[in-house]
Structure 1
Amino acid sequence: MAEEAEVEMETAAGAVPVPFQLQLDKSIPFQINIAEWNPEKDLLAMVTEDSKVVLHRFNWQRLWMISPGKCITSLCWRPDGKVIALGLEDGSILLHDVENGKLLKSIKSHSVAVICLNWEEEAHIEKGEIDSAFVYEDRTRRFFPPAPRVPRMPGLNAGDAGFMDDLEDTFHELSTSPRQHFNMLSSGDKDGCICFSIFGIFPIGKINIHKLSLCAPFLDKTATFQLLNASIHQLALSKDLSQLVVLSFGELEENLVKPKGKNVQKDEEYAEVQKFSHTGDSSVGLHCLLLNTSIFLDRKNELQQVAQQASSIEDLVEVVRASLSVMSKQWSEAMHSFHEKFDPLSSLIVSHGLDSNPQDEFLSVLFGARTSPPLHQFLVNSLGEAGLKRVCKAVDTAGKELHSVIHEHLQPAVEIIGFRIAELRGLSRWRARYHIIGLDEKLIDSATEKAGMLLVHVERFLRILAIVLYQFQNFFNWVLRYIKILMSEPIDQIQPANSELIVVFLKFLLDHDPIGELLEVNKIIEVDVDTMQRIEQLVMFGGYSDTNYLEKTLSDEFNQLEQCLKEAFLLQFTTISQKIHCEDLMPLYKVGYTPEVSSSDAPTSIFYYKGDHGATSEVCTDGDSRVDYICFKVPDESLELTNCIGIIRGFANGLDPVQKRVTSPEAILLCIPDAFQCIDLSLYKENQIVLLLNEATSTSESTMRSLVMMVQISDFCFLPLSRRTPANLWTLQILKASAVDMHLEIGKVRYISEPVTSPLAVSASRGLACVFTSRRHAMVYILDEDEDETSDID
C-alpha cells in the first residue's frame, strides 16, 4: 500500500482528499471471471476461473463456496438479494439460496451457453396507490397441510448424489407467496435465444431473435431486417417489465418483403421473408434491439396467479415421479429377495425327475399329501426358518415403506395437484382475462380429469397393496408352520393360515407380481368384461370420460397427467412468446468478422435512471418515469478513432405514449486519453459512469499503473440521433465527427499501483466498487466517500 499511497499523494498534490475510500485490499488465490454485488446486502458473489462460486461479506469474510461441476458463463441476483442465479455452459440455470449456497432449483431453458442473465422486479407501488387488479389469494393452504417433499431413497443420507434434498419451505414461500412482487428472470444464450421465467422458476416465453422481423424506422421508410448468426451479449428489462433492451452481435440483413401484421415470431412469416431476403445488404456488428414485452405489464396479475399454481404443480409432479421411483425400487428389491429364495424349488423338482411345478408341490402339502423329496429338501435345507424370516422381513419392510411413501408423499402430492388444477380450471373459464395468456379451458379440463383418475389409481394401489401384503403374510405363516412340523418343533405360537388364501396366493401371486405391474410403464392390466361394462355405465353420471382407466397402471396414469399438463403449459408458453416482438433496432458499430465476443472483449452496461437526471423533456414525459442508458466500449477497428466509449440514452423511450409520436434517442461518443485503455465500465447511480483504465504507455507490467474513474454523464452535451438512412446505418458513424475528448480532470480519479483486470463490480445501491488486479488482489472502494490525504500515509 505504500507504493499506492505515494502515487495518490503525487496525484492529489498534497492537499486534495483522495477519491474513493479504500475499504480493504485482500490477496485472492484465484482469478475472477464474474463478480456481482448483492442488491440488498453487502455481499459479493464471484465466479473463479475454475467455475466455483464464492460469496464474501463486505469485510471479505467467506460465507460459502460451491462448485456446480460445469462452466459458469453468467450470474445475477434476484432483486431482493435472497437468491442467486447461475447460467451454465450447457444451457442450464441454477438457483441457489444466498444463506447457505444450497441448490433450490435447476431449469433447462437453453441448449447452449447462457451468456447473460437479468432479474427484474415490478416497480413498487407507491403508498396509497390502488392496484388496478384484484388481489389473488392462494387458497391451497386453507385446505391442505404444507406440500410434501421429494422422498429420499432409503439407505441414503441427505446430500447424496443423484437424490434431491428436502425442498426449502422458505423458497416456496418466497417464490409463490401472493405478497411476493412479480419478477421476471430473462436469460440470453450464444445462439440468439431469450427465455423468460416468472419468479425465475416458471418458464413463460422464449424467442429466437433470428426469427424476429426487426423494424428500424428511417427518414424515408420503415425497413425490416433479419439478424443472422447472432448471439445475445447483454439484456435489461425495464422497471415496469414492458420493454427489453438487448445488445446482440450478429449479421444484419435487410428484408425485401415485409411480413404481414406485427413483427411477431411466426415460422410461416419467417419462411416468406427468408425467401426474398438474401439479396439485401448485410453487416456484422453490435446491434441494440428494443423488444416489446408489454404482455408482462398488462397481464402481470394473471401471469402471477397462473405461475403460482403452475410452478407448484410442477414441483409436486417431481414429488410424484420420485415417489413412484422409490416405490418401484423398494418393491423390486423385496421381490428379488423372495424369488431368490423360492425359485430354486423349480430346479430341485427338475433334478429329481418329477413332472410338476412349485404350485403343485405346495398344493399337495396343503391338501394332506406326503411331502415330495425336492420340496422337503427345499424347505429344510435351501430355505430354512432363518431364510424364510429374512424374506418375510424384506417383504414386510417394503410394504411399510410403500405405505409410508404413499401416505406422506404420493397421495398428498396428487391431492394438491388436483386442487391446484381445479383452481386453474376456474381461472380458465374467465376467458376475457386468461385466454389472452394461453390458459385454455379444454386443456385444463383434460388435466383435471387425469388428476382425478390418478387419485383413483392411488386408492386402488393402496387396496391391492394391502391385499397382497396380507396374502404374503398368510403364505409365510403357513410355510413357517410346515417347516417347524418337518423339523419336529412346536407350532403353538404360529397363527394358523387360511387355506383358501393359500390357494389364491399359489395361483395368482407365486409367479405373478400385481404390485410391480402397477408400477410398470406401458403395461396393460387385464380387467374382466363385467367390470368394464359397469364402468361404462357410470360414464352417464359424468365426472370422467376415460372408461379404460382400470387397464392402465399407476405409472401410465401419471405419465398421461404429466403429458396433459405439458400441453396446457406449452400453450401458455407459445402464446406469450408470440406476443413479444421487436419495436426498434439501432445498429451501434460494425466489426469486420462474425465475432465470438466475451464480456471482457466488449464491456457494456445498461441502466435505468429516473427521468429528472439529465434527460430532456423530449425523452422523458413525467417525473416518475425512467430513462434507459446504454454504455459500451467501441472496438478500435470500428472507427478511425481509437479508445472510445459510446453512451446512448432514451432508446427505449423513443415512443411517447401521450403524444403518440416517435422521439429520437440521444448519444455521445467519448474519447479516453491515449495513455490509458478501458478494461471495463459500469453505469452508476445519478447519471454517473465508473471506468476501469489501465496505463497503455508502460513498458513493463511491474511499472504499469491503473485507475478507477467516475464521470458525471449529465455534464456532457448529448446529441439527438436523427433517424438514419440505410446508406448510413451505423449509429457511431454519425457521432464520429462530434466525439468529445474526456480528460481525467473532469472526473474523480483514484490511482492504483498495479494493472487491473475485468470484471469491475459496482453496486449502485450500496455505493461500492470491487476492483481485481492482475497480481490477484481484490480492492473494495466506497465510491461515495473520499479518503483524507493522511490515510494513505498511515
Structure 2
Amino acid sequence: MIFQHEVVASHIPFRLMNQHAVNDPIKLISMCPTMDLLAVCTETNSVWVARWFNALEKIWTLPAGKHANDKVEALTWRPDGKVIALGYSSGAIRLYNVDKLEMIHELFPPPIDSQQSFNSITSSAVNFLIWVQENESDNKNVNEQQINYLSTHPVQRYLPKLNTIPRAKPISNLLGNINESYEDELEDEPSNLIDLLIAGDASGNLHLSAKIIKASITPDLSYIILFVRASYTSPVVISKTSKNDRLVEVILNTGLLHTRKNEIRTLSQTYTTIKYLTEYIFEGFEQIKAEYENMKSNAKIYIDKFKLVLLENNANSKLSAEFVHFLATGKPSSLLQKYLEMHLTKRGLKDWESKGQKSFEQIREYIHHYVRPGCERLLLRLSTLIGYCKWQQKFKDLGLSESYVRSIIVYTECLVNRLENMLNAIDERYINFIEFHHWLQYEFDNIGLADHNQSQEAPPRIDISKVASYIKSSLHMDFLDNYFINPEEPAEIPLPNMLILRCNKMSTSTAYNVVNSVETEEFLDIIDNLIEGSEGTHLLFLDTRIVTQENQTFIYIAFCLSGTVQYSPPSLWVLRSSLKSDNERNSDPFNFEKSLDERTSEITFINLSNQERPNEYFRITDMQLFDDEKMHLIVTGINETENEVSSIAEINYSELNFVQVTGPYIIQVIEKSNRVNVVDQILDQKDLEKFTSLLVHQYRVITQFKPSKLTTNGARGLACILSEDKKRIIILDTNDQEDENEDNNDMMQFS
C-alpha cells in the first residue's frame, strides 16, 4: 500500500459504474449536474452530448460547420442541467438548449481598447466558465410577498400567444427559431433565486497583465473570487526564455448583483421579452418589405413587356398614358392593342391580378396579425418599465431612465402610426387595383368580341375615378416606398432597426451599472516567482471552493507546486481564509479595510511521500475539491515491485492540520508591494513538521489505463477519469456508503 490510510477509512473502493471509448481525442469534458449526461468537445472541435449510463449514446451533436473557425475553449452546464454554455477562442459565449439543440443566446466580447498597454495580453479566448445558482437556503427568510412583488402582471398572463410569422428567419441571437418560440415561454416561475454565468479570458481588467485561471462565487452571490497569474519583473530570476508570475487571489464585492438581485432578475426577464418582441417586429416588418418587393417585381414584369412593344415599333410612349387614353376614348391605340393581345394576354392579365391580390392580402395579414400585435405587446412591456422607473428605491442604481424608456415608447407609437397609414394606403390601392383589373378585363373581352363581329356585353359597374387613380399613381406598385425609405433622409435608420438599437442600449446600460458596481475588495498574494520556463517554480494545478459553515464562509484554495529546490519535491497546499459577512461589514464600515488587513488565513502543506519508497514522492496528475469536505486526487507513484501505479484518492481537506499565517493583504498595486507572500511565510518558518502527510480516506487503483484528467460531480457523487490518450473514460461512484451488491436498477436512480 503506497498510501497512508486513516484508521476509520472505508475499504470499499470507488465503484466502477461504466467505461467507454471514443474515436477522437477528448479536449474538454463535463458531467451534467442532474442527469447521466456528458458534454464533450473533441480536439477536432466536435461538440456532443451523450448518455453514459449504459452505452455511450449521443443525443445530439453540434453541426460540424457551425462556427468552424471558432474553437471551443471551455464548457459548463447550467445548474439544472438543461443548458450548456460554450466559450470560444474568439471570446464568444453561446448557450444551447440540450433538449432541442438550439442556440438560445449568444454573447460577444467588447472590442479591444486601442489604447490598451502594449505589454498586456490581448487574447480574448474564454478559458473558463462557471455557472452557479444562488443557494436557496440563503433566501429561507424571504417571504412569498417579497418573492412575487416583481412577478409578471396578471394582464400579461392572459394575453394570447403571438402568431407564428411565416417564412421568418431564425432569431439565432436569442431564441433559435422564432417559429417555435413564444413570448410566454420566456417567463420563468416567480423566484427569488438568480443564476449567474461567469466567464473569464486572458485579458483580466485588473490594471496589470493577468490571466484569470479560476473563479468561484459565494452561495449568496455577494463575492466573486478570482485567481490570476499576474506578470511582473523579478529582480531575482532573470531569464530570456522564462516568464515571472505570481499567483494572486482577488476578491470582488459583487455590489448590485447581490443587493439588487431581485430587481436585476426582473429586469433581465423583461429585457429578454423586449428583445424577443423587437426581433419579432423586425422580422414581421422584413416580411412586409419582402412581399411588397415581390408585388413590385410582378408588376414590373408586365410593364416591361410594354417596353418591348415600344422597341419593336420604334415608338416613344408610357404605359400609363396609353391606359389613360384608352380609358378616355374607349379605344386602345395600336401600340396598346398589340401589347394587350401579344404580350399581356388574357391569361397574363388574370395572373397579374391573382398575384397582386395575394400580395395585398399578405401585407395586410402581416400588419394585422403579426407586427401591430407585437408593437402593442411591446408597449405593454415598456409601460411596465415606466412603473419600475418610478420605483426609485429599487431601480435608481440600475441605469433605468424614465425619459429613455418613454423615447422608445414614442418610437413604437410612431411605428404603429406608420403601420396604420400603410394599412390605409393598402386598402385604398387594393380597391383601385381591383377596379382597374375589372375594367381592363371587360375591355379585353370587348376587343375579342369585336374581332369576331359579336355584340358587346353590358359594361360592369366600374368606378372610373378609381381606375384613373390607380393608373396615375399605382401602376408601378411603388406606393409604399416612402414607408420604408425616407426620400428626404435616405440614411435614416428604419424604425424597427431603431427599436432594436435603443432597446439593446437600454439593457446594456443596466448591465454596465451592474458591472461597474463590482469592486475589488482585497488581494491575497499567495506565491511569487512562478516560472513558465525551464527554471523556477511551476503551478501545476489549482482548484477552489467556497464553503459555508455555521453562518461563516470560507474560501478553500488547493494548489500543487514543483520545480526549484525550495519547492522540491512536489507539494500540495490548501489555503483557507474567511470572508466577512454582511452583518460584520455593516457593523463597522469605517474600519472595514483595517479589519481586512488584520485578518488571518490558515494554510496546510500536504507531504506527498510514498509509504513504500520513503525517498520518492507521488506525482499529482489532477485534483478537484469534490464537495465541502472531500478532495479527489489522481496520483501516480512507484510501488515496491518497481511498477508505476495510478490511483484516484480521496482526502478530507476540511480537517487537515492548518497553520495560521498573517493576511490577507490589501494590495492596490501588486508590483510595488513588499509584503511576503503566504507560501514564503510558511517556508521561512522552517517548521514543516506541523503539516500533514497524505492521509487517504479511500482510494482505487486505476487499472484500465494511465489517467490524465479528473472531472467530478459532487452533488451526485460521481467522478469521471480521462485516459492519457484522451480516447477512454471511466465513471466511478464515490459514495462509500453504498452497498456493493446494489443492482443496476437502483443505480438508475441517479438519472
Normalising by structure 2, we get a TM-score of 0.80
Deviation of 1:163 after TM superposition, in Å, equals 11
Residues 695 and 458 from structure 1, CA distance in 2 versus in 1: closer, same or farther, beyond 3 angstroms?
farther
For residue 47 of structure 1, what is the amino acid of its counterpart?
C
1:388 to partner: Cα distance: 2.7
How far apart, CA to CA, are the structure 1 residues paired with 2:443 and 2:678?
94
Partner of 1:508 in structure 2? 473
The DSSP-based 3-state class of the residue aligned with 1:354 is: coil
145 and 755 in structure 1: CA distance in 2 versus 1, 3 angstrom threshold: same
Residue matched to 2:281? 320
Does structure 1 retain, via aligned residues, the 8 Å contact 2:161–2:182?
no
- Is the 2:171–2:178 contact (alpha carbons within 8 Å) kept by the matching residues of 1? no
Which of 359, 362, 366 in structure 2 is aligned with 1:401?
362
The one-letter amino acid paired with 2:35 is K
| Cα deviation 1:399-430 (Å, max 9, x = unaligned) | 33323333333122211111111110111012
Counterpart selection for 1:418 from 361, 379, 397: 379
Cα deviation, residue 178, structure 1: 2.3
Q: Which residue of 625, 629, 632 corresponds with 1:683?
A: 625
Cα deviation, residue 27, structure 1: 1.9
Determine if contact 2:150/2:263 at 8 Å carries over to the other structure: no
**2:657 maps to what in 1?**
717
CA change 1:748–1:86 in 2 (3 A) is same
Distance 1:667 1:173, change over 3 A: farther
Q: Please say if residues 250 and 522 of structure 2, whose CA atoms lie closer than 8 Å, have aligned partners that are also in contact.
A: yes
Structure 1 residue 492 displacement after superposition: 6.8
Q: In 1, are the aligned partners of 2:552 and 2:579 still within 8 Å (CA)?
A: no
Shift of 1:635: 5.3
**Partner Cα separation in structure 2 for residue 333 and residue 601 of structure 1:** 64
Q: Residues of 1 paired with 2:164 and 2:565: CA distance? A: 54
From 707, 711, 715, the counterpart of 2:647: 707
Residues in 1 aligned to 2:36 and 2:95: alpha-carbon distance in whole angstroms: 20
2:51 corresponds in structure 1 to 56
Spell out, residue by residue over 1:158-182, the C-alpha distance to the aligned partner (whole angstroms, 9 max, x if none): 9999995246659964654323732
Find the partner of 2:129 among 114, 117, 130. Answer: 117
Distance 2:738 2:292 in 1: 70
Aligned counterparts of 1:321 and 1:89: Cα–Cα separation in 2: 31
Given the alignment, which residue of 432, 437, 440 partners 1:471?
Answer: 432
1:542 corresponds to which residue? none
Query: Which residue number in structure 1 is paired with residue 121 of structure 2?
Result: none
Tell me the residue number matched to 2:670. Answer: none
Q: In the alignment, is residue 307 of structure 1 matched against residue 321 of structure 2?
A: no
1:130 aligns with 2:143: yes
The match for 1:773 among 703, 714, 723 is: 723
Is the 2:103–2:174 Cα contact (8 Å) retained in structure 1? no
Please say which of residues 318-327 and 173-182 is displaced more in the overlay: 173-182
Q: Provide the C-alpha distance between the structure 1 equivalents of 2:531 and 2:336, rounded to a whole number of angstroms.
A: 82
Aligned twin of 1:534: none
Letter in 2 for 1:85: A
Cα gap change, 1:496 to 1:350, in 2 (>3 Å): farther
3-state DSSP class of the match of 1:665? strand
- Is the Cα–Cα contact under 8 Å of residues 122 and 239 in structure 1 kept in the other structure? yes
Going from structure 1 to structure 2, the CA distance change for 1:421 and 1:47 (only over 3 Å counts) comes to: same
Partner amino acid, structure 2, of 1:105: H
Query: Taking structure 1 as reference, are residues 180 and 430 closer, same or farther at Cα in structure 2, changes over 3 Å only?
Result: closer
Q: Which amino acid aligns with 1:136?
A: L
Matches within 5 A, 1:170-181: 173=185, 176-179=188-191, 181=193
Shift of 1:694: 4.1
Matched-pair contact (CA < 8 Å) for 1:706–1:754: no
Report SS of the residue matched to 2:649.
strand
Aligned to 2:23: 29
Find the aligned partners of 2:360 and 2:708 in 1 and give their Cα distance. Answer: 59
2:71 aligned with 1:88, yes or no? Answer: no
Aligned partners of 1:150, 1:594: CA distance in 2, in Å?
56
Counterpart mapping for 1:584-663 below 5 A: 584-590=522-528, 603-611=541-549, 623-634=550-561, 636=563, 640-650=567-577, 652-653=579-580, 656-657=584-585, 661-662=595-596, 663=599
CA distance in 2, matches of 1:147, 1:758: 51
Counterpart in the other structure of 1:618: none
Unaligned segments of structure 1, at least 5 residues: 1-6, 193-208, 211-225, 255-281, 526-550, 612-622
Contact 1:45 1:56 (8 Å CA) reproduced: no
Mapped partners of 1:625, 1:162: distance in 2: 39
What amino acid does structure 2 have at the position aligned with 1:479? L
Quote the residue 1:205 is aligned against.
Answer: none
Change (3 A) 1:502 1:429: same
Q: Does 1:733 align with 2:675?
A: no
Question: 1:603 Cα shift?
Answer: 3.6
Partner AA of 1:28 in structure 2: V
Corresponding residue for residue 258 of structure 2:
297
Any idea what SS the aligned residue of 1:62 has? strand
Identity across the alignment (%): 19
Give secondary structure in 1 for the equivalent of 2:85. strand
Helix, strand or coil for the counterpart of 1:178? coil
Code of the residue aligned with 1:560 in structure 2: it is M
Q: CA RMSD in A?
A: 3.9
Specify whether residues 593 and 110 from structure 1 end up closer, same or farther in structure 2 by C-alpha distance, changes over 3 A only. farther
Amino acid at match of 1:178: P
Q: Which residue does 2:227 correspond to in 1?
A: 247
Instruction: After TM superposition, list the pairs within 5 Å mapping 1:575-586 onto structure 2.
Output: 575-586=513-524
Counterpart position of 1:749: 699
Q: How does 1:13-28 map to 2 (within 5 A)?
A: 17-28=11-22
> Is it true that 1:668 corresponds to 2:604 in the alignment?
yes
**For the residues of structure 1 that align with 2:296 and 2:384, how far apart are their CA atoms?**
41
C-alpha spacing 1:494/1:236, structure 2 compared with 1 (3 Å): farther
Q: SS where residue 356 of structure 2 aligns?
A: helix
Query: Retained in 2: the 8 A contact 1:121–1:184?
Result: yes
The C-alpha deviation readout for 1:316-345, integer Å capped at 9, x for no partner, is 111112112222222212321220221231
Instruction: Work out the CA distance in 1 between the residues paired with 2:76 and 2:15.
Output: 26
Q: Deviations over 1:595-640 (max 9, x none)?
A: 9xxxx985432222232xxxxxxxxxxx134322222333536953
Q: CA deviation at 1:444?
A: 1.6
Partner of 1:346: 307
Pairing partner for 1:760 from 684, 687, 710: 710
CA distance in 1, matches of 2:515, 2:144: 26
Question: 1:754 & 1:672 partners in 2: Cα distance?
Answer: 24
**Partner residue of 2:612?**
none
Partner of 2:749: none
Contact kept, 8 Å, 1:245 with 1:652, in 2: the verdict is: no
Per the alignment, in what secondary structure is the counterpart of residue 264 of structure 2? helix
Q: How many residues align?
A: 677
Moved more, 664-673 or 172-181: 172-181
Distance 2:183 2:577 in 1: 37
Amino acid in the other structure paired with 2:716: R
Partner of 2:212: 232
Match of 1:218 in 2: none
Deviation at 1:362, TM superposition (A): 1.0
In structure 2, what is the Cα distance between the partners aligned to 1:333 and 1:561?
Answer: 25
> Higher mean Cα deviation, 665-674 or 412-421?
665-674
Change (3 A) 1:152 1:642: farther
CA distance change for structure 1 residues 639 and 361 in 2, over 3 Å: closer, same or farther?
farther
Aligned to 1:182: 194
CA separation in 2, counterparts of 1:447 and 1:467? 30
Q: CA deviation at 1:246?
A: 1.0
- Matches of 2:400 and 2:71, distance apart in 1: 37
Query: 1:50 is aligned with what amino acid?
Result: T
Residue 107 of structure 1 is matched in structure 2 by: 107
CA distance 1:395–1:131, change in 2 (3 Å): same
> How many Å separate the matches in 2 of 1:326 and 1:559?
14
**1:664 maps to amino acid:** T
Query: Structure 2: how far apart are the matches of 1:50 and 1:770?
Result: 21
Question: CA separation of 1:788/1:511 partners in 2, compared to 1, >3 Å: closer, same or farther?
Answer: closer
AA aligned opposite 2:288: M
